[in-house]
Structure 1
C-alpha cells in the first residue's frame, strides 16, 4: 500500500516538473521565433508571393484567351505555337484515345463562332510548370456531327519553354452541364 501512495505522489511531482520544463522550452522557442522574424520582411515576402502568383495567373489567362481567340479565327498556327511538342488532350468522356498535337491540329470540319474562358484557377505552381483549372463556354460545331456541347471544365498543365513562353503540355477535358460559377471569374 505504501508503495502505491509513494508512487502516485512521486508521479504527480514528475508530471508537474515535466510540465514546467516543456512550458519553459515553448516560451523560449516563441521568443527565438519573434527575434528572427521581422514583421516588415514577412509582409514583403507575402506580397512578393502574391505578385508572383498573380503574374502567372495573368500569363496563363492570356495564353488561354489566345487559344480561344485562335479557335474562333481558325488560326491553327497560333494554336500550334501555344502547344508543347508533347501536347496531349485527354477527354474524360467517351472512349477516345489521347489526342496528340498533330492529331489536334489535323482535325477538320471544326468551326467556332465563340469561345470564352469563363474561369481560371491555378491549383499548383512549380517553377516552370503550372496546373490550372479552367472553364470554357463555346459556340462550336463539327462537320457531320453538328453542334457540340457548349460548356467544358478542363485541367491544363502549362510548361514554360526555354524562351520563357508558356505552352500547354496537357489538357484533360470534361463536358459540363452548365458554366461553373463558384470559380474565380476571369472578368
Structure 2
C-alpha cells in the first residue's frame, strides 16, 4: 500500500509539474502577443505622427510654392505675357526669400522618435537651399529663370523625406512638390 501511495504521489507531482509548464508556455505566448501588439500600436503612432509632420510641412510651404508654380506656369504658357511674367516673377522671388527664412525657423510639432526627428531635420537644409536657388535664379533672369540647380535641391529634399516614409513602412512615398503646388 505504501508503494501505491508513493507512486501516486510521484505521478501527481509529475502531472502538476506538466500543467505548470503549459501555463508558463501560455503566459510566454500571451506576453509575446502583447509585445507585438504594443510594437504595432507604436508603429501606427509613428506613422500617424509622420503624416502629421508632412501635413504641417506642406501646409506651411504651400503658399510660397504656389507663387513659384504660378511664375513657372506664366513662363511656360503658350503665349507668355511679359507683364504676367514680371508680376508673378516678383511674387515668386519674394515667396522664395520668405520660404528660405521660414525653413530656418521651422520645427515639427509631432511626437516622433529621435532618429526620425533627426532625419527630418537633416532634410530641411535641402529645402532651404531649394528656395535660395529659386530666389537666385529669379535675381539673375526674371524673364527666363533657370531652376535646374533649385530642382536638384528639391529632389534631394524629397528623396531624404521619402527615406523617412519608406523606413516607417508606408507603401508609397509622396511627391512633395506636387503636394505643395
Q: TM range, normalised to the smaller chain?
A: 0.3 to 0.5
What TM-score results when the alignment is normalised by the length of structure 2? Answer: 0.35
Greater Rg over alpha carbons, structure:
2
Q: Which has the higher helix share?
A: 2
- Name the structure with the higher strand share: 1
- Compute the TM-score of the two structures, normalised by the length of structure 1: 0.34
- Greater relative contact order (Cα 8 A, min sep 6): structure 1 or 2? 2
